[in-house]
Amino acid sequence: MYPVSHASIVMNASGRSRSFFVALFLLCAGTMMYEIVLTRLLSAVCWYYLAFVSISAAMFGMTAGALCVQLQPEFFDRARVGQRLVQGSFAMAVSMPVALITMLAVPVDLSLALETLFSFLLFSSIIAIPFFFSGIVVCLSLTKVDLPVGRIYFSDLLGAATGCLASVVLLTYIDAPSAVFVISALLFASCMAYTTFDGVAVQWRKRAQVLAVLMVVLAALNSLTAHGIQPIWAKGKIDRRNRILAEIWNPISKVRAIYPQNAMPEMRGPSARLPADTKRQEILLDIDNEADTAIMNFSRRSVRI
């Protein structure tokens, strides 16, 4: 056997610490990106004043995760911190697409019945699940990892700040449901970095690699079709997603164009000389499943699609 030099031990420890900081950075970035993308989803599914429920869900979920760490000291003892970090980040990455699909299938509307309260509690609990696992990982990182706490906190804040900017970029190019799959892939990358820090849970790395690639593929496929994983309940009614000419998400809205139809133009103050039968071909633009406006064709030629 060859003796292990002090320099190699130092280099190995340095590599493990870098892996930890990268993992925490990616996890905090993914947490913030999920929170921001969630506001965009809630704006389309519910109403604008409920969009910021995502902030409450983040605070509730992360607090519950941190309390779980403090109330179960045997399960989260220091000897198994690396393993719990790997498992927590992996669970967050897995729970995110599951929470997305489940959330989009729950109708949310106001009704004078007890089921309304239950549906809101169910909806809020579902979206808070990924934040619960994030709270576990962040709490373990800040309280039970033997590294300078200032650097740990810096990685946390830098990841969150980067996630704010990255979410805007992400929503510029793909829709919000597809963005959640991308964020899940980012969290699987965080899990892979945590396996390097732990140095034992190698089998988790292979699983995370496969699932990260799968999430990227799902995001690409979902973004190419209007009939993939998308909200089917919107503003209290079913969205049948038919006659869609185009649907584009951006950081501030979801705009949908409906196939052209002949209809009377909607005017706030029509002229008295307007003929009774003045149907024009128009394309209806729907904004966040609520507001709409029409693009009217005033030429004699029909719009070519």
Contact (Cβ atoms closer than 8 angstroms) between residue 55 and residue 201: no
Q: 94-103, 152-161, 278-287, 293-302: which range is least confident on average?
A: 293-302
Contact (Cβ atoms closer than 8 angstroms) between residue 225 and residue 201: no
pLDDT of residue 5: 41
At 273, the pLDDT band (50, 70, 90 cuts) reads: confident
Domain locations in the chain as residue ranges: 6-232, 234-297
For 87-115, write each residue's pLDDT tens digit. 999 999 999 999 999 998 888 777 777 87
Q: 62-66, 218-222, 257-261, 272-276: which range is least confident on average?
A: 272-276
Tokens of 301: 């030629």
CB atoms within 10 A of CB 62: 23
Tokens of 302: 């029909």
Of 209, 187, 9, 227, the C-alpha closest to 96 is: 187
Cα angle 182-186-189, degrees, rounded to a multiple of 5: 140
Q: Is 300 a residue whose pLDDT tops 60?
A: no
Report DSSP letters for 52-102, one per residue: THHHHHHHHHHHHHHHHHHH-TTTT-GGGHHHHHHHHHHHHHHHHHHHHHH
CB atoms within 10 A of CB 113: 9
pLDDT of residue 120: 84
What are the distances in angstroms from CA 292 to CA 50, 155, 280, 284? 20, 43, 17, 7
How many residues are listed for the chain in this entry? Answer: 305
Contact (Cβ atoms closer than 8 angstroms) between residue 299 and residue 284: no
For 182-196, write each residue's pLDDT tens digit. 999 999 999 999 998
CATH of domain 6-232: 1.20.1250.20
For the whole model, what pTM was predicted? Answer: 0.87
